[in-house]
A and B are shown apart, each in its own frame.
Chain A
Amino acid sequence: EVKLVESGGDLVQPGGSLRLSCAASGFSFRSYWINWVRQTPGKGLEWVANINEDGSRTNYVDSVKGRFTISRDNAKNSVFLQMNSLRVEDTAVYYCTTPFDVSWHHWGQGTPVTVSS
């Protein structure tokens, strides 16, 4: 069974940092890109970042470039999202997902991030 489990979400002050983790199981983790997607309260979905199979290629939405860093540890079947210089508008539930274009696709249950003073 494919499972994605996010953790690390918390309440943090503006300007602070958080590191989110996504632990994967049930599939050949090192063979797939992984995405982070967020959903702001009562709003829609926003793709945040992704990383390729060996971690050599990363992509980000403009609003987080220079502040967020995605990485992975294939030995631990995990992907991370280091979030620095957090802003109020980064408040959201953060999900990790498997690739959107493969025949199977999964989302984690999400981890909430609240940026507030």
Chain B
Amino acid sequence: DIQMTQSPSAMSASIGDTVTITCRASQDIRNDLVWIHQKPGKVPKRLIYSASNLDSGVPSRFSGSGSGTEFTLTINTLQPEDFATYYCLQRRSHPFTFGGGTKVEIK
């Protein structure tokens, strides 16, 4: 199975900060990487697919990059509604596997 190592597991940030979350795959997954976020008590929602494609309606302050084994989610100019938990998911091979999540909290 492909292991997804996500870091950090939690972080504190201020409004207006730039936040970077990293996901590392245990083997090459090309660009088959998805970023998902979840606000407390809400259903998860996809932000980015194929490593760098923004979902419709997702603000342009979000961006994804990487391929192979190293991937990054960047949030520029953090907004109040961005405080949530973020997950990466590899869909290169079965079983699909999620990273452990990154909780972004208000500093």
Is the beta-carbon distance between A101 and B1 smaller than 8 angstroms? no
On chain B, the number of residues with a Cβ less than 8 Å from chain A's Cβ atoms is: 25
List of B residues within 8 angstroms of A88 by Cβ = none
Whether the pair A61, B95 counts as a contact (CB closer than 8 A) is yes
Q: Contact partner of A46 among B34, B53, B98, CB < 8 A?
A: B98
- Across-interface contacts of B44 in A (CB, < 8 A): 37, 39, 45, 95, 107
Which residues of chain B from 1 to 21 have any CB-CB distance to chain A below 8 Å in the complex?
Answer: 1
CA distance A44 to B88 in the complex (A): 11
Known: A44-B100, A104-B56. A62 touches B95 (CB 8 A): yes
Interface residues of A in 77-117 (CB under 8 A from B): 95, 100-105, 107-110
A56 to chain B, nearest CB (A): 15
B36 touches A (CB below 8 Å): yes
Scoring B32, B43, B55 by chain A CB atoms within 10 A of each residue's CB, the highest score goes to B43
The residues of A that contact B36 with a CB separation of less than 8 Å are 45
0 or 1 for each of B80-95: is its CB under 8 Å from A? (1 = yes): 0000000101010011
Q: Across the two chains, which residue of chain A brings its CB closest to B53?
A: A103
Looking at the assembled complex, report how far the CB atom of A10 sits from the nearest CB atom of chain B, in whole angstroms. Answer: 20
Contact of A44 with B49 at beta-carbon distance under 8 Å, contacts A60-B95, A95-B43, A100-B96 already known: no
Q: With contacts A47-B96, A59-B94, A61-B95 known, is A101 near B49, CB below 8 A?
A: yes
Q: Does B61 contact A (CB under 8 A)?
A: no
Chain B positions within 8 Å of A, measured between CB atoms, are 1, 32, 34, 36, 38, 43-46, 49-50, 53, 55-56, 87, 89, 91, 94-101
